[in-house]
């Protein structure tokens, strides 16, 4: 009798201490910074081009944990960027063209920025297209169609986003409805910088917006400067002042456009530019260990491939394997699975093959 009673008390005590240990662990759970870099339209061949056309080892090589994601949306097997980004931002798949809304009744679905901001996280968005374009929009807006970019711009003004750098100025100050949203952004705490990307002495109490004049920035092959890597670094300088963690989304926006146009040189230069932004994120994460870096794509564009220079159909020896001849299968998107690379705390949880919306749930489960 005595022995069993002793065992019983020991078991209770052990349970008590285990529970307490777990509670302390959760209380002390440090903030987790998350940097999500999305190459719009960047399939495996696009990403591979960095290995053959760049002049250094691509930063992609620094990732040890690799997965693949299925990018389909609810109404079509081949998604667009709106549904693709909505899956990442909200954890729910939706229909092609939808921004942050349900496929059932177009009601708003809470996004990662709206979840993390009340928890004390700072949030930022960087892109080389308009901030109102589908990919960044899914991280703050809720609207039935990606085409309503003026309304999307209005939703940015009242969103939880703390930092943004992109093009798209006309959607804010040269609008069909005549409204000027720049003073509204300023009234909402933003220090705005128009036309120039200059680093500042950022204050954690303020918010910062950089808007470049055109709807879309110049292509890399047309002389776009280091906007994407530079803006990524600036965003990290600002966001990392916050001791409660941050979420940053960086988009290599124009890889997709190069795929649509079937322009391989344009595509390669956009991938190399994106790869530099990935390098900035990894450099930051090296010094700030509690940073999870995720690189992925919303879908593949163009059916791009890095095939050998073609010979004739029936003569295997006629192809020239010393020459890569990039080519495309479509002017649209494709259903090819896209890669996801992760580095940092819990990076191993992103391995495997899964649906695009699972990425959101994986991130949230690490934070909550």
Which CB sits closer to Zn ion, 82 or 234? 82
Q: Please give the residues from 133 up to 152 whose contact with Mg ion meets the rule CB under 5 A.
A: 135
With 0-12 / 13-18 / 19 or more C-beta atoms within 10 angstroms meaning exposed / middle / buried, residue 70 is: middle
Which CB sits closer to Mg ion, 135 or 269? 135
For residues 307-342, b (16+ Cβ closer than 10 Å) or e, as one string? eeeeeeeeeeeeeeeeebebebeeeebbebbbbbbb
Min. distance of Cβ 201 from Zn ion in angstroms?
A: 38
Q: How many residues bind Zn ion (CB under 5 A)?
A: 1
Helix runs in 123-198, H state only: 134-137, 149-157, 170-173, 182-187
Which CB sits closer to Zn ion, 230 or 256? 256
Which among Zn ion, Mg ion, none contacts residue 291 (Cβ within 5 to 8 A by kind)?
A: none
Min. distance of Cβ 319 from Zn ion in angstroms?
A: 30
Residue nearest to Mg ion (CB): 135
- Of 144-152, 162-170, 246-254, 257-265, which segment contacts Mg ion by CB under 5 A? 246-254
The one catalytic residue in 48, 49, 59, 81 is 81
Instruction: Tell me whether residue 81 is one of the annotated catalytic residues.
Output: yes
Q: Please give the residues from 185 up to 244 whose contact with Mg ion meets the rule CB under 5 A.
A: none
Rounded CA gap, 254 and 81, in Å? 12
Min. distance of Cβ 133 from Mg ion in angstroms?
A: 5
Collect all residues with Cβ–Cβ distance below 8 Å to 269 and sequence separation of at least 6.
219, 220, 221
Token digits for 54? 């760049």
Min. distance of Cβ 135 from Zn ion in angstroms?
A: 10
Q: Using an 8 Å Cβ cutoff, are 1 and 259 in contact?
A: no
Token digits for 95? 């229909």
Min. distance of Cβ 222 from Zn ion in angstroms?
A: 19
Rounded CA gap, 252 and 272, in Å? 10
One of 34, 37, 40, 357 touching Mg ion (CB under 5 A): 40
Q: How far is CA 258 from CA 148, 230, 261, in A?
A: 23, 22, 5
Min. distance of Cβ 259 from Zn ion in angstroms?
A: 7
DSSP secondary structure code for residue 318 in this structure? G
Check binding of 230 to Zn ion (CB under 5 A). Answer: no
Angle at the Cα of 229 (from 223 to 231), degrees rounded to 5? Answer: 100
Which CB sits closer to Mg ion, 102 or 135? 135
Which CB sits closer to Mg ion, 40 or 151? 40
Contact pattern for Zn ion over residues 249 through 278, marking x by CB under 5 A:
-------x----------------------
Which among Zn ion, Mg ion, none contacts residue 151 (Cβ within 5 to 8 A by kind)?
A: none
Which among Mg ion, Zn ion, none contacts residue 135 (Cβ within 5 to 8 A by kind)?
A: Mg ion
C-alpha atoms less than 13 angstroms from C-alpha of 208 in its C-beta half-sphere: 23
- Residue 26: enclosing H or E segment and its boundaries? helix 2-27
Q: Please give the residues from 50 up to 109 whose contact with Zn ion meets the rule CB under 5 A.
A: none
Rounded CA gap, 208 and 118, in Å? 18
Rounded CA gap, 60 and 278, in Å? 8
- Of 53-61, 78-86, 208-216, 232-240, which segment contacts Mg ion by CB under 5 A? 78-86
Min. distance of Cβ 301 from Zn ion in angstroms?
A: 5
> Which chain residues interact with Mg ion by CB under 5 A?
40, 81, 135, 253
Active site residues: 81
> Which chain residues interact with Zn ion by CB under 5 A?
256
């Amino acid at each position: 009798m005595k022995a069993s009673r002793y065992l019983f008390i020991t078991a209770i005590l052990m349970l008590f201490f285990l529970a307490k240990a777990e509670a302390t662990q959760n209380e002390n759970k440090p903030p987790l910074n998350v940097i999500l870099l999305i190459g719009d339209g960047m399939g495996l061949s696009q990403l591979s081009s960095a290995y053959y056309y760049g002049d250094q080892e691509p930063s992609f090589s620094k990732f040890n944990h690799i997965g693949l994601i299925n990018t389909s949306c609810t109404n079509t097997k081949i998604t667009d960027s709106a549904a693709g980004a909505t899956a990442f931002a909200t954890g729910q798949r939706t229909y092609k063209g939808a921004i942050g809304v349900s496929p059932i009744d177009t009601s708003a679905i809470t996004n990662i920025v709206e979840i993390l901001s009340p928890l004390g996280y700072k949030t930022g968005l960087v892109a080389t297209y308009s901030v109102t374009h589908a990919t960044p929009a899914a991280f703050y807006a809720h609207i039935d169609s990606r085409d309503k970019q003026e309304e999307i711009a209005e939703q940015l003004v009242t969103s939880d986003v703390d930092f943004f750098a992109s093009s798209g100025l006309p959607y804010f100050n040269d609008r069909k409805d005549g409204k000027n949203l720049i003073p509204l952004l300023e009234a909402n705490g933003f220090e705005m910088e128009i036309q120039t990307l200059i680093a500042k002495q950022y204050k954690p109490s303020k918010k910062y917006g950089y808007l470049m004049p055109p709807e879309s920035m110049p292509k890399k092959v047309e002389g776009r400067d280091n906007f994407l890597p530079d803006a990524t670094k600036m965003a990290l300088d600002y966001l990392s002042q916050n001791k409660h963690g941050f979420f940053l989304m960086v988009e290599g926006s124009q890889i997709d456009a190069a795929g649509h146009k079937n322009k391989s040189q344009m595509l390669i230069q956009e991938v190399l530019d994106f790869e530099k932004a990935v390098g900035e994120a990894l450099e930051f994460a090296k010094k700030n260990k509690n940073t999870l870096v995720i690189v992925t794509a919303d879908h593949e564009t163009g059916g791009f491939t890095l095939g050998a220079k073609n010979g004739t159909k029936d003569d295997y020896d006629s192809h020239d394997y010393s020459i890569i001849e990039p080519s495309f299968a479509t002017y649209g998107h494709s259903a090819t699975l896209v890669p996801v690379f992760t580095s940092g705390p819990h990076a191993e949880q992103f391995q495997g093959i899964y649906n695009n919306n699972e990425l959101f749930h994986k991130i949230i489960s690490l934070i909550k």
